[in-house]
Each structure stands twice: as structure tokens, then as C-alpha cells.
Structure 1
């Protein structure tokens, strides 16, 4: 039996467990299982994989995407650039155990974003500058799309929401929400920008996927803009994890 799972704390619910459990059932994969491993501190990761020799790989979620780095033997290019890991392969290299970290968030976001893009989406605004924004910045840099980060509090390298006006929105037609604004149960919240200034040239991507259409996406759609939520990104990053674990 090969084991896979998710580490984080706390782990009250998990997209990943549901996704992989259903995948194994539908594809009649009977020699694999996916479990939740809520570890209270990152030092317990060593004990987790040493006590479970059948553990082949894990996904990593809050708050360990950065804390896990010192425990890894190698990390991929995206993880190096982003400074965070969300997928781990526990394998062997030259007869020795080798634990390698990957960032599949970047892959999931990029492949999900590409179909939304049109030639006039040349500049972007990223709402929020937390952990989720790191993968978004990496992908936009890779796609050569300049961006501005918009935050509630003044920080180096970001602008305030008050600075987002019609002129700025006219130039930046790709809008990406990386904040939890609009996430259930707070569905009546959204990034505070002048939605009246939006046009059908705008495209909005929301990393939130519950509800399916956030207030942010709804307001952009009403102005004729293209919209997409983060559910496909989750599916793609999960499938990429499966590819890595079976490589």
C-alpha cells in the first residue's frame, strides 16, 4: 500500500483528501490511500515519514509551506523562486532517501490562467500580498505580464486600494484576487476598487472558489468582463502532485 496525504494545522477539511479518494475509487486504484496528517509543529514531519515507510508523498498547506524548507534535500525551480513548497516527493536517489519539494500552485495557476488571457491583458493588478500571491507573482513574471500589488496597508512594493482609479484600471486589465475577501461565509465582501470603471476588456481571476462566483467576479461579469475562480487551479495542482509522486 502506498500512502499519500496532507500536512498542515489545523486540518478541519480538505479538498485534496476528497479529490484523491474519489480519484482512487473512480480509477480503481486499490493500492493507494490519501490521509490527513494534522501535525502541531513542523518538527513532527521527520517522525511522520520515519514512522510511515509506506508514505510516498505529501501535499503541504498552511502554515508549513515555508517552514518545511529546511527539512528537504532538494527543491524545484518554482519553489526556489517562490520560497514555498506545497508538494513533497519522498523517494530515493543513489540508494539514499531523498525528500524533494515542489510548488504545484504555480503550475495550477499558470495552466488555469492561460485560457483566460487575451492580447490586451498586458498588465495586472494583484489584490493582496500574502502567501497565495507568491505563486501568482512567479507566474506573471514568467508570462512577462507586469503587475502592481494592491494592499490595505502601505508596504514596500505595493500600492493602496485608494490608488486604484479609472486610469490605473484602464491600463491594468487583468485583475487577480489572492485575498480571502468574498470567501464563504463572508460572501458580501470583495476587493474595494471602483467597479464602475470596469469594461468588457477586463478579466478577473479569483483564487477563492467557495462560493463558485464571488462578489468580485460577479461585479466584473456584470461589466462584461471574463471571470474565473480558483477551482480548476486546485484540480490542476493536485493532478501535478500525482504526476510527481509517480515519476
Structure 2
């Protein structure tokens, strides 16, 4: 077997990878397993990306980028897609035959698609959308919600200009419809962790969306159900959407 098309995931640390399983199965279904491979590149510092690229020159065609490198990777790329530049985060890299790199953000498309096709969208779209956390995924989610015309509150433990605290959020929950967890709280193996919102204030007008997909049903979502929220959305569908968009970019 001679691999001519190598793809992979950059991050640290990396445990069970949805991306590796997803693309390995895709290659099998497309009868590409003999020539295509997807690997995990667990790099302790972002500068190691350059070594990964150099070591696999010629066959490395594209990479996904995850925590904590979605923003750190940008200075090391040759070019940015306009949407990724606006968001300020990259989760997909296309590597051209001559070695040039271009960064994209497919979180935006994966998230937006799931929101627009969610049955509950019509019930919360006129209310405030709250985004918990301010990392790379949050920036894509905020851009998608704003492009859908929704009012967005950005919540952080240490709020800066344009953000609010969890304490302030607790006092204004009547204005809120959608709450999105973009933090890693609740992700395996720390499945007992959850964002510090005031869950006692949740009711049927609230809809919870968690981008964490391992486990599918996070503590954040479970606590929402226990307090009678109108509905929940698990993170796997967003992941499928962004992965399909990455494959489209790599093959364009």
C-alpha cells in the first residue's frame, strides 16, 4: 500500500478522534483506502506543525485543527479564507502541491446548518442567543448566529469588552432563547464538568446546544433536561457538517 494522500488532525492532547474514524470510513466507502490515510498529529507546541508538514511533504494534502491551536495556527499559514479571517480561527488547512497552506473555518458551516434545520429554530430565533466560552469554535458560532440575524450575548468567566459574566447572565435569562456551550467542559474524560450557568433559571423557553460530542449527552444537556428546557441539541451533527465541508475544501 502506497499512501499518496495523507490527512490528519492537529491538537494537544488528542484522545479518541471522531475525525480519524470518520475519514477512515469515508476512504473505505469511496474505495480510497489503498491511497488515502488519516492520522492524528498530537503536537505539544504549535511550531511542531512545520515539522509535520516538512516530514510529509508531497503527500500531506490537508489537516483538521482542534484545541488549543485554532487561533495559534494562523501566523504559520500562507493564506486565510475570508470567513476564517473574519472569525479569527482556523480548523481546516488545505495544503497545495507546491506546499502553500490556506486556512479555512468549517465550524461555521457545520453549526449554521444544524441551527437552520433544527425544528426549534422558529421558537428561539427572535430571542437572545448566548454563547458560553470565547475560544476558536465560539467565534465561528457567533458569526453564524449573527449572520442569521440573531442577537448574541458572549459569556465568559473573565468578561472583556463586549462580553458579559455568568452572574449577569443569571439575571437576564428571561430574554434568552438559545444557550450554546462552546467550552470543553463536559468533554471526556471530565464528563462531570459543566458550564457555571444558573440552571435553576432554565425553563421551557430555553434550548441548549452543546458542541461537545464525547459524550453525546453531556452534563450540561442533562442538567437542562432536568430543569425542563424546551429542547437540546447534541454536537455530533455539527461535527459531521464541518467534516464534510473540510473534505469538499481538500478536493476543490
- Superposition TM-score, scaled by structure 1 size: 0.87
Once residues 182 and 61 of structure 1 are traced to their aligned partners in structure 2, the CA distance between those partners, rounded to angstroms, is 16
Aligned residues: 243
Q: Does 1:11 align with 2:17?
A: no
Task: Check 1:73–1:181 CA distance in 2 against 1; reply closer, same or farther (3 A cut).
Answer: closer
CA distance in 2, matches of 1:182, 1:39: 23
Among 51, 66, 69, the alignment partner of 1:64 is 69
Q: How does 1:99-178 map to 2 (within 5 A)?
A: 99-116=101-118, 117-122=121-126, 123-165=128-170, 168-178=172-182
CA distance in 2, matches of 1:107, 1:131: 14
Deviation at 1:119, TM superposition (A): 4.6
**Aligned residue for 1:220?**
224
Instruction: Say if 1:11 and 1:69 are closer, same or farther in 2 by CA, change over 3 A.
Output: same
**Partner SS state of residue 164, structure 1:** helix
1:7–1:58: 8 Å Cα contact kept in structure 2? yes
How big is the shift at 1:204?
1.0
Report how far residue 128 of structure 1 moved: 1.9
Deviation of the 1:73 alpha carbon: 2.3
Flag structure 1 segments of 5+ consecutive residues without an equivalent: none
The answer on 1:233 being equivalent to 2:232 is no
Deviations 1:82-135 (A, max 9, x none): 11111111115xxx5432111111111111222231154321111222333111
**Distance of aligned partners of 1:183 and 1:65 in 2 relative to their CA distance in 1, 3 Å threshold:** closer
Matched, 1:98 2:100: yes
User: Is 1:180 the equivalent of 2:194?
Assistant: no
Of the structure 1 ranges 120-129 and 233-242, higher mean CA displacement relative to structure 2 is found in 120-129
Give the alignment partner of residue 46 of structure 2, picking from 29, 42, 50: 42
Root mean square deviation of aligned Cα: 2.2
Contact 1:124-1:175 at 8 Å conserved across structures: yes
Note if 1:26 corresponds to 2:26.
Answer: no
**Residues 85, 101 of structure 1: 8 Å contact kept:** yes
State the TM-score, normalizing by the size of structure 2.
0.86
Is the CA contact (8 Å cut-off) linking 2:124 and 2:205 kept in structure 1?
A: yes
- Once the two structures are TM-superposed, the CA of residue 242 in structure 1 deviates from its matched residue by 0.8
Q: 1:42 to 1:193 in 2, by over 3 A?
A: closer
In 2: Cα distance, 1:41 partner to 1:29 partner: 31
CA distance 1:184–1:91, shift in 2 (3 Å)? closer
- Contact 2:124-2:207 within 8 A present in 1 as well: no
